[in-house]
Amino acid sequence: MTLKTISSRDNPLYKELKHLATSSQARRKAGRTLLDGVHLCEAYLQQVGMPPLCIVSETALLNSEVTVILQECGNSETQSIVLPDALFHALSQVEHGIDILFVIDTPEQMEPQRLVQSAVLLDKVQDPGNFGSIVRSAAAAGIKQVFCSPGTTFAWSPKVLRAGMGAHFLIEIFENVDLEALIKRADIPVIATSSYAKKRIYDLDLTQPVAWLFGHEGQGVAEHLLALSTHQATIPHLGAIESLNVAASSAVCFFEQVRQQTSK
Amino acid sequence: MTLKTISSRDNPLYKELKHLATSSQARRKAGRTLLDGVHLCEAYLQQVGMPPLCIVSETALLNSEVTVILQECGNSETQSIVLPDALFHALSQVEHGIDILFVIDTPEQMEPQRLVQSAVLLDKVQDPGNFGSIVRSAAAAGIKQVFCSPGTTFAWSPKVLRAGMGAHFLIEIFENVDLEALIKRADIPVIATSSYAKKRIYDLDLTQPVAWLFGHEGQGVAEHLLALSTHQATIPHLGAIESLNVAASSAVCFFEQVRQQTSK
């Protein structure tokens, strides 16, 4: 196992990493992102394979989970780098975690022409935590595709990845998708949740594949997409509160589908 | 309507506000917190009443929603204060919102001796966004009480309030509760969610009041509390992912209860 140490902030590779860590534009342009922390790195090794680059802090060299990962990287093409703690922490957003980062290539998926299996469509969801939580719930519910409109938060930012807890590696995520065109040629029902709908999600037949459409945290699903959906449905409320958080609401929908699918 | 303008950072009231805005210890000690943005302030006016203090930026004086709120405050005992934008923004965590803050007293509730109505028990939930989302989902599901163990994030921080979207004013929140004692004298079933449980939440009778017990984001519910619960139940997963986010998971539970309660 060969570890390279970088100790200068002016090192060109370190400068590139700093750029990746702090600029979402840089991540999109490079087609690369950072996985932060042991859990995400282990999930990547298990679900995807070896990363191009593994970065740890000096302190983390004493951690046994990190040692195992470094060993595994040492047996592959992965380049492993040690940074002084201060340099490492300038790359990481995790405050009390174990200091390990993978640099990975963000997958480029061929967008399927038609919706044929259960999927999630996101129209301008803004909050990275919500986006990550939706991907995590979808993966737990056995859904395998997420389609995002332009204006949805970047799927591969460190915050979204952290909230996703590794679900990104179990699901195909398509960005900048023309949702209108996708819905028009859908082979399965598209269900938009709306607090104004009369029909309850519990009254829908969810034993067959469906596509779930969720919208912006403030404005909800855009009118022209709502109009194209097969069903508009609501999660009935018993309290005097207007609406649910979009990640909470999507979990309720996905698991109503699981309930119907697993009840005979 | 009388508006007082504060333009110096050294003004004693401004210094006190700055302290409230930036220190969770100061908020706990003063028994006061800040509501940030039009939505929360309107929810407070509607559900609770007039705040002791209303603060706006100079720019916000041009906003019609703010004007309506200031009028309402002018007709009451509420003190209204205008700050230059720079001074206001040092108090607010909302980046692109409308510049209005209420200072409110955090409610002090007498803790009920027994669990008799549907409730949520939180054991060391850490993330303010999760906590707020849980309170919001609980309120939407008609649940009226939340009990928090010591070590749970502070219920009245600006981040939790923002994620709660006004649900704080519809629900009673009890902090620093001895959950063990509470569960021991519960008159209703206490259900702990655990990914290791065999029983599915769908197999439970949720038409009667129940108390839902959720735990720390990483460690889940503490063993000694798990052991005291009436049922341990799981949300069945169809995908290769370990667990749901605690806010997503709580929403699934609360709305399974709503589904059962509203289906005849």
Per-residue pLDDT band for B212 (boundaries 50, 70, 90) equals: very high
Q: Which amino acid is at A95?
A: E
Which own/partner contact pairs does B61-68 have at CB distance under 8 Å and 24+ positions apart?
Answer: B63/B98, B65/B38, B65/B98, B66/B38, B66/B98, B66/B99, B66/B100
Residue B117 CA to residue B144 CA, distance in Å, equals 8
* DSSP H/E element including A55: strand A53-57
pLDDT above 70: residue A18: yes
Contact A128, A93 (CB under 8 A): no
Nearest chain B residue to A195 by CA distance is B140
Rg of chain B (C-alpha set)? 21
Interchain contact A249–B (C-beta under 8 A): yes
Question: What is the residue-averaged pLDDT of chain A?
Answer: 94
Residue A100 CA to residue B66 CA, distance in Å, equals 47
Test B245 with A136 for CB contact under 8 angstroms.
Answer: yes
Report the residue from A129, A235, A262 with minimal CB separation from B255: A235
Give the list of residues 6+ apart from residue B262 with CB closer than 8 angstroms, or none: A200, A202, A236, A238
Which pLDDT tens digit goes with each residue over A94-136? 878 899 999 999 988 788 889 999 999 999 999 999 999 999 9
Which pLDDT tens digit goes with each residue over B10-60? 999 999 999 999 998 999 999 999 999 999 999 999 999 999 999 999 999
Nearest chain A residue to B257 by CA distance is A238
The lowest-confidence range among A112-116, A252-256, B5-9, B118-122 is: A112-116
Give which of B94, B137, B195 to mutate to test A binding, by max A Cβ within 10 Å. B137
Give the list of residues 6+ apart from residue A212 with CB closer than 8 angstroms, or none: A118, A119, A120, A121, A191, A193, A250, A253, A254
Return left, alpha or beta for B4; rule: phi > 0 is left, psi -120 to 50 is alpha, else beta.
Answer: beta
Residue B250 corresponds to which tokens in the numbers above? 């709580």
Test A251 with B251 for CB contact under 8 angstroms.
Answer: yes
Residue B21 CA to residue B23 CA, distance in Å, equals 6
B93, with CB counted inside 10 A (0-12, 13-18, 19+), is middle
pLDDT above 80: residue B223: yes
Test A238 with B141 for CB contact under 8 angstroms.
Answer: yes
Which pLDDT tens digit goes with each residue over B237-246? 988 887 899 9
Looking at residue B149, what is its pLDDT? Answer: 97
Count the alpha carbons within 13 Å of A132 in the hemisphere toward its beta carbon.
Answer: 20
Nearest chain A residue to B47 by CA distance is A240
Residue A31 CA to residue A25 CA, distance in Å, equals 10
Interchain contact B235–A (C-beta under 8 A): yes
Let me know the angle formed at the C-alpha of A135 by A129 and A139, rounded to the nearest 5 degrees. 145
Interchain contact A129–B (C-beta under 8 A): yes
Test A239 with B202 for CB contact under 8 angstroms.
Answer: no
Give which of B143, B165, B193, B255 to mutate to test A binding, by max A Cβ within 10 Å. B255
Higher pLDDT, A192 or A218: A192
Residue A243 corresponds to which tokens in the numbers above? 């609406």
pLDDT above 90: residue A68: yes
Kindly provide the ipTM of the predicted complex, given to two decimals. Answer: 0.92
Give which of A44, A237, A241 to mutate to test B binding, by max B Cβ within 10 Å. A241
* DSSP H/E element including A103: strand A100-105
Test B252 with A247 for CB contact under 8 angstroms.
Answer: no
SS (H, E, C) B205-233: CCCCCCEEEEEECCCECCHHHHHHCCEEE
Residue B113 CA to residue B158 CA, distance in Å, equals 29
Let me know the angle formed at the C-alpha of A64 by A61 and A69, rounded to the nearest 5 degrees. 80
Which pLDDT tens digit goes with each residue over B112-170? 889 999 999 999 999 999 999 999 999 999 999 999 999 999 999 999 999 999 999 99
Per-residue pLDDT band for A264 (boundaries 50, 70, 90) equals: low
Beta bridge partners of A102: A35, A54
Interchain contact B139–A (C-beta under 8 A): yes
Residue A85 corresponds to which tokens in the numbers above? 């703690």
How far A173 CA sits from the closest chain B CA (Å)? 16
Give SS3 for B132. helix
List the domains of chain B with CATH numbers. 3-105 (3.30.1330.30), 119-262 (3.40.1280.10)
Interchain contact B238–A (C-beta under 8 A): yes
Per-residue pLDDT band for B97 (boundaries 50, 70, 90) equals: confident
pLDDT above 80: residue A242: no
Test A241 with B167 for CB contact under 8 angstroms.
Answer: yes
CB-CB neighbors (< 8 A) of A140 in chain B = 237-239, 241, 243-244
B155, with CB counted inside 10 A (0-12, 13-18, 19+), is buried
Looking at residue A83, what is its pLDDT? Answer: 97
Looking at residue B264, what is its pLDDT? Answer: 60
Interchain contact A126–B (C-beta under 8 A): no
Looking at residue B256, what is its pLDDT? Answer: 97
